Amino acid sequence: MVDNADETEHDDDSQTLLHRRTLLKVMASAPLVVSLGLFSSPVMRFLKPTMKAGNFFQSADLPTADKPPLFNLRDLADVWTCIPFMMPMKYLVFNPEQYEVRKIPGFVIRTGKNQIVAFSRICPKHRDHVLNFVLPAADGSCGCVDKSCKGYCIGYAKTPSLICSYDKSVFDIGNNGRASCGAARYSARQFSISRNGDWISIDGFEQVGIA
């Protein structure tokens, strides 16, 4: 009986010592954890300047429309009517205003009786290149909105398309702007559209994967 009591007392002492060691380890590591926490916030804000202090789970800084362009269906009366526009997009940046507005060139196009689409004119392959709208004519003449392509589109675009006249990339409008030939590997960036009666609003970029 005495041996059992001694063993029980020894086990209690061991448990107490273990708890004390655990407590000391926690106390010793607490300053390190706090220091890492205080250090990680400035590092994260350096990597992501628009993040608020300590807000590690802040949502992604996606651009939003500043003043959505408006069009009337009368402006797009015929199929394959194409109208260029400038899309003001608000980007979060590290400045006193916490944002800046950048104007993105785009096209709004009627592709069918009740179907309107809008695409960014910025080439997904080279961001400093601008896309042209091509509607191949029956006589083989150039159908670009402007003549900056100098006729290079002929022979590349077989369907109504967007084309980069610099690298000959062609984006099929009827297939959601998918790259059909040329150097580009990603689709042309598409804008989301909302309709209210005869009015069409360009609301911002479609929320899709990296393109």
Higher pLDDT, 166 or 192: 192
> Do 153 and 162 form a contact (C-beta atoms < 8 A)?
no
SS3 content of the chain, % helix, strand, coil (to 5): 25, 30, 45
Q: In this predicted structure, what is the pLDDT of residue 211?
A: 33
Any idea what DSSP says for residue 92?
-
Reported in sequence order, the residue ranges of the chain that DSSP labels E, i.e. its strands, are 64-65, 70-72, 82-91, 100-110, 116-120, 132-134, 161-164, 169-172, 178-181, 191-196, 199-205
What does the pLDDT average to over 180-207? 88
| Tokens encoding 196 | 């209210």
Indicate the pLDDT class of residue 119, thresholds 50, 70 and 90.
Answer: very high
The one-letter amino acid at 148: S
Q: Is the pLDDT of residue 121 over 70?
A: yes
Confidence (pTM): 0.64
Beta bridge partners of 102: 89
Question: What pLDDT is stored for residue 109 in this prediction?
Answer: 95
pLDDT in tens, 26-80: 666 666 666 665 556 555 555 555 555 555 455 555 667 778 889 999 999 899 9
- Domain topology for 64-205: Rieske Iron-sulfur Protein (2.102.10)
CA of 94: how far to CAs of 34, 49, 55, 166, 205, in Å?
26, 6, 15, 34, 22
pLDDT tens for 135-173 read 876 655 665 655 555 555 666 677 889 988 788 788 999
Domain with CATH 2.102.10.10 in the chain: 64-205
DSSP track, 157-182: -SSSEEEETTTTEEEEGGGTTEEEES
Quick one: average pLDDT of 181-198? 89
